[in-house]
Structure 1
Amino acid sequence: MTATIDTPSTGSSTVERIGTTTPGQGVAAPSPATKSAQPTPPASAPEAPSSLLPNNRLRWFALGALSLGVASTILNQTISNVAIPAISADIGLTTAEATWVNASYALTYASLLLMMGRIADLIGRRRVFLIGVAIFALSSVGVALTDTVAQIVAARVAQGIGAAMILPSSLSLVNAVFRGRDRAIAFAVWGSVIGGVSAMGPLLGGWILGFASWQWAFLINAPVGILTAVLTLKFIPDSREDRDRTGLDVVGAVMATVGLALLIFGIIEGSAFGWLRTLKTLQVGGLQWTFEAVSPTAAALVMSIVLIASFVAWEQRRARRGRSVLFELSLYKVRSFRYGTLVGLLVSLGEFGVLFALSLFLQSVYGYSALQAGAVLATLAAGAFIGTGAAVRFSQRRGPAWTLRMGMIFEVAGIVWLAFSLTPSPAGWALVPPLVVYGMGVGFATSQLAGISLSQVPREKSGQASGAQSTSRALGAAVGTSVLGATLLAGFGATTSALTDRGVSLETAQRVTEQLRATAGTGYARLESLPNGKVLLEGAAQGYSTAIRLAALVAAGFIIIGLIASFLLPNTSLSSAPGTTTGEPQKA
């Protein structure tokens, strides 16, 4: 039978469970306003239950379901990057149309995270997670069955909607369901899935394209979705906010969603359409941007600032009147959430943007297949999973904030080592050690960051907090990818001097450099067919390695900024209930 836990005194979550309510689990945690007055529990105090499941042995099945759902969305994005050339050849996409296949997903996903997190609080986090899994699986099948540009873009938009429902609801379920010591482990596993699976995507994508058609890169999400849904229905209790019955702030949701969509569009497409003046025509359906003096991305960025500022003012006004809001801005008064969100944004600027450029470098300059390049990058995933296991133990001794900092130190060391290992001569094996170190850093950092951000957030607000935290990371990734892409293109300028040093005329050297910039390096292999092709390849390889080294160093710089900002974080325990703190852990 089904039972629920109500805590009317604090308005905390209603939790639907299979079985009978265990006495004592419905006791409310101290509110943030009074928690400082609470005495520290003695060492002999009974330990909190490890989850809200009546049988704690089932908690790992619950965590497995959440991890599967998140993994499918992360794999989808990395695999689709690998599959784009095959999709373009099969359907006949132009370069602009191929760009929209990925951009449509990214825009939809990033702009809806905040709203979906709030909806999860209102109608049930498990319900939103399940609906997201269903939408994502069905739309993945839709992508595989498409044969026109309009169809595949529409299916990718649907995928973005599903993914935006999965990520914040899964994180808020971890925050709401797990308790005590296992809460820290659950956060670590959830975070490591994001880090490790991101690196495994190119390998899996290369394997699928090597042995099957590109459609299977998306069809694989269907059985994964079915398994995730079955595990979720059987092992995960529902969790929702019981206090707020006023419904969704529709006006706030529209302003936030449209504002974020315009912001992400402006960031990821600025270099293509122009940051100020229009470089090329934007055409969506039957509509066309006709203003040359102002680019569509510049207009989008200005409109996004207006909408986001209006959203903040609107939310503040509704909060003062005691009405429901899409996002409670007062959450930023919670130190761990405020600075955790900031660190997440900063780290995302440099954490994974360099991997896409590295994959292209391995395939273009070293001549690796997509599968071989993916195998090299998969060593980062191995490091991430090793790092996650070590991070749990390290966190128990030194606390999660110091574990996060140690992770970022590993990341910086790995990326800098990687930057100086990228030479024009093929030596993929030399990249493995720095990638493993980089991966260990990812395992340390991502396993702690989400947990730190939500460690002091009241459980009934975990959905909207998860949505905001995920939005900040998506925004950071978009900005980072744009900046690193611009850095890579600027770095290609070294090709000109590398060629002239080898006796190539300045005119030819400049033409080769512009070809590399126009194709983001993918035009490298075509140089061999030109007169004096061997020399052109040598000079271009030198310029390419200089460009990607510069991009890697910029990425390391972003993470260093995040490391500095991490010293603003409290070293709270992830084992405590949401909305409580345990103070600084004892130093080892």
Structure 2
Amino acid sequence: MTDERIVFGTSRARWVLAATALGSGMAFLDGTVVNVALPAMGEEFDAEVAGLQWIVNAYMLPLAALILLSGSLGDRLGRRRTFVAGVIWFAVASVVCTVAPTIEVMIIGRVLQGIGGALLTPGSLAILQTTFAPSDRGKAVGAWSGLTSVAAAIGPFVGGSLVDSGSWRLIFLLNIPLALLTVLITLRHVPETRDETAAGKLDVNGAVVVTIGLGGLTFGLIRAGEGGFSDPVVLVSLIVGVLAFAAFVEIERRESHPMLPPGIFANRAFTGANLVTVVVYGGLGTATFLLVVYLQTALGYSAIWAGAALLPMTLLMLALSGYAGGLADRIGARIPMTVGPLVMGVGLLLMLRIDIDSSYVSAVLPAVVVLGLGLVATVAPLTATVLSSVEDHHAGIASGVNNAIARSAQLMAVAAIPIAAGITGDTYLDPVAFSEGFANALWISAALSAAGGVIAWFTIGGRAEKPAEVEHHPHCALTAPPYADSRRAS
């Protein structure tokens, strides 16, 4: 642990913020630009819907499975060291994606990117929490949130421009100079910190088993889109996934230092907030994944305009998340978390109006704005509830669990909902068939969002128990809630 804390506004503080925001922003940027490039990648690799699903899910699978373990790894080995390792790993994986000759190699590269993302994502905020003076941590995290949100906002424009003017491979090549700059700044200006009191062995068994569980279910659901649920490979994969999750629960019960402490779910509000996370982020992740593809393949949008279609939602998150957090402090999280998912469901249903003859302003924009307003009302109160419903020393674990659950929900939804909606094989290349499947997927996603509102009403109480201890920071939540590791604050 460093003895000299950094004061916000100083030159050293700006360098530390630059390093952490560049590293996290690189991962966030990659998440947005890849969705924009999916149609172009599918065309070059002659990929079906399953291939596009794997390009997305191969990244989220290791990220969801390993993000909790990597936080503990940083505690023991050093947060700067783990962060730098994650950035370098991410850059090398990006090279693999850049030169990938087949979709199989691309998927391997995306898996490697997910591992790198799991190393650097919790590390960035852990560095801020342990290097800044306690009175300045809120400012530092707020600045980090704003900077990384800018990366998410410009991602569609950067990705769309590169796809339209050159090649989708450039979106991965862009990570190389960003990673090099991040490593140089980090090694020169970021102090090393670690938790000297960290004890016990890493929960490697839990990480391995949950990865098998997520992988088995994801593979089985995506494969079912090709061969149906009667396919023996599908059945075996799904059974392995379910058994692995059952084993994971038992391992966490017996583990002396579990990555997912079972007792943390004893709190009703915490459990409720995470159930809301599952259904809301599952529906949101699938809808945004399909919308960007739909606008390009069915409506003829260019990559840059398809990517920019969701920009108003990001801007609303940037502008209003702080106000939403303040409102939840005054009236409690129950009402915002009930109304927010319902409004999101309305926004998703408004997307049913998008067809070949509709314009962006008349059909796409209203749906995106309503969806964004619902997301604003949901995310800050949800994050506050997750943090305020556990003891302070469990805040980092609670936030990490919620982050992992959000990513796992998106992972499962992107694998399952397209099958349920009838989007399989090369359906996305047929505008008529894709339109029908897209409409079905929107109904499913809207139902999931509405279910989030119902769950919140019955599980979330009024005012948060410790509202003064919870800080709200504007952030883009298209991928997952922020990993706020208050546990590491001293």
Within 5 Å, give how 1:181-220 maps onto structure 2. 201-220=155-174
Compared CA separation, residues 397 and 94, structure 1 to 2 (3 A): closer
Could you tell me which amino acid in structure 2 is paired with residue 422 of structure 1?
Answer: I
Could you tell me which amino acid in structure 2 is paired with residue 311 of structure 1?
Answer: F
Aligned to 1:422: 354
Q: Does structure 1 conserve the Cα–Cα contact (< 8 Å) formed by 2:224 and 2:419?
A: no
Compared CA separation, residues 429 and 518, structure 1 to 2 (3 A): same
Deviations 1:123-172 (A, max 9, x none): 34443233212211232133223435554343322211101222334455
Aligned to 1:317: 254
The CA distance in 2 between the partners of 1:178 and 1:549, in whole Å, is 48
Local SS of the residue matching 2:428 = coil
Could you tell me which amino acid in structure 2 is paired with residue 309 of structure 1?
Answer: A
Deviation at 1:176, TM superposition (A): 6.3
Local SS of the residue matching 1:475 = helix
1:381 aligns with 2:314: yes
Aligned to 1:371: 304
Deviation at 1:209, TM superposition (A): 1.0
Could you tell me which amino acid in structure 1 is paired with residue 74 of structure 2?
Answer: A
Local SS of the residue matching 1:255 = helix
Aligned to 2:448: 558
Deviations 1:387-413 (A, max 9, x none): 324335434544566554554344234
Aligned to 2:92: 138
The CA distance in 2 between the partners of 1:521 and 1:223, in whole Å, is 34
The CA distance in 2 between the partners of 1:572 and 1:64, in whole Å, is 34
Q: Does structure 1 conserve the Cα–Cα contact (< 8 Å) formed by 2:2 and 2:131?
A: no
Could you tell me which amino acid in structure 2 is paired with residue 56 of structure 1?
Answer: F
Q: Percent identity?
A: 27
* 1:343 aligns with one of 250, 272, 276: 276
Local SS of the residue matching 1:140 = helix
Deviations 1:309-333 (A, max 9, x none): 22322332234xxxx3333222223
Compared CA separation, residues 448 and 56, structure 1 to 2 (3 A): farther
Deviation at 1:199, TM superposition (A): 6.8
The CA distance in 2 between the partners of 1:452 and 1:556, in whole Å, is 23
The CA distance in 2 between the partners of 1:250 and 1:298, in whole Å, is 27
Deviation at 1:548, TM superposition (A): 3.1
Comparing 143-152 and 360-369, the one that deviates more: 143-152
Could you tell me which amino acid in structure 2 is paired with residue 564 of structure 1?
Answer: V
Compared CA separation, residues 153 and 555, structure 1 to 2 (3 A): closer
Comparing 231-240 and 474-483, the one that deviates more: 231-240
* 1:569 aligns with one of 460, 467, 478: 460
Aligned to 2:204: 250
Deviation at 1:218, TM superposition (A): 0.6
The CA distance in 1 between the partners of 2:391 and 2:53, in whole Å, is 40
Deviations 1:3-58 (A, max 9, x none): xxxxxxxxxxxx425x2xxxxxxxxxxxxxxxxxxxxxxxxxxxxxxxxx431335
Local SS of the residue matching 2:2 = strand
Deviation at 1:474, TM superposition (A): 1.6
Q: Does structure 1 conserve the Cα–Cα contact (< 8 Å) formed by 2:61 and 2:408?
A: no
The CA distance in 1 between the partners of 2:143 and 2:347, in whole Å, is 22
* 2:408 aligns with one of 461, 475, 478: 475
1:16 aligns with 2:2: yes
Deviations 1:64-89 (A, max 9, x none): 64444333223323322333444456
1:520 aligns with 2:440: no
Deviation at 1:221, TM superposition (A): 1.5
Within 5 Å, give how 1:326-365 maps onto structure 2. 326-365=259-298
Could you tell me which amino acid in structure 1 is paired with residue 7 of structure 2?
Answer: N
Compared CA separation, residues 576 and 478, structure 1 to 2 (3 A): same
Local SS of the residue matching 2:275 = helix
| Aligned Cα root-mean-square deviation (Å) | 3.6
TM-score with structure 2 setting the length: 0.80
The CA distance in 2 between the partners of 1:211 and 1:450, in whole Å, is 39
Q: Does structure 2 conserve the Cα–Cα contact (< 8 Å) formed by 1:110 and 1:264?
A: no
The CA distance in 1 between the partners of 2:18 and 2:319, in whole Å, is 18
Within 5 Å, give how 1:430-579 maps onto structure 2. 430=362, 431-457=364-390, 461=394, 464-489=397-422, 518-524=425-431, 540=432, 545=435, 547-567=437-457, 568-569=459-460, 571-573=464-466, 575-576=468-469
Deviations 1:249-305 (A, max 9, x none): 333333233233223333444323432x22xxxxxxxxxxxxxxx2x2321221222
Local SS of the residue matching 1:213 = coil
Q: Which runs of 5+ in 1 are unaligned?
A: 1-14, 20-52, 279-293, 491-516, 525-539, 580-588
The CA distance in 2 between the partners of 1:100 and 1:79, in whole Å, is 16
The CA distance in 2 between the partners of 1:140 and 1:487, in whole Å, is 32
Could you tell me which amino acid in structure 2 is paired with residue 371 of structure 1?
Answer: I
Q: Which structure has the higher relative contact order (CA within 8 Å, separation 6+)?
A: 2
Compared CA separation, residues 156 and 545, structure 1 to 2 (3 A): closer
1:271 aligns with 2:225: yes
Compared CA separation, residues 117 and 553, structure 1 to 2 (3 A): same
Aligned to 1:72: 26
Deviation at 1:473, TM superposition (A): 0.9
Deviation at 1:489, TM superposition (A): 2.0
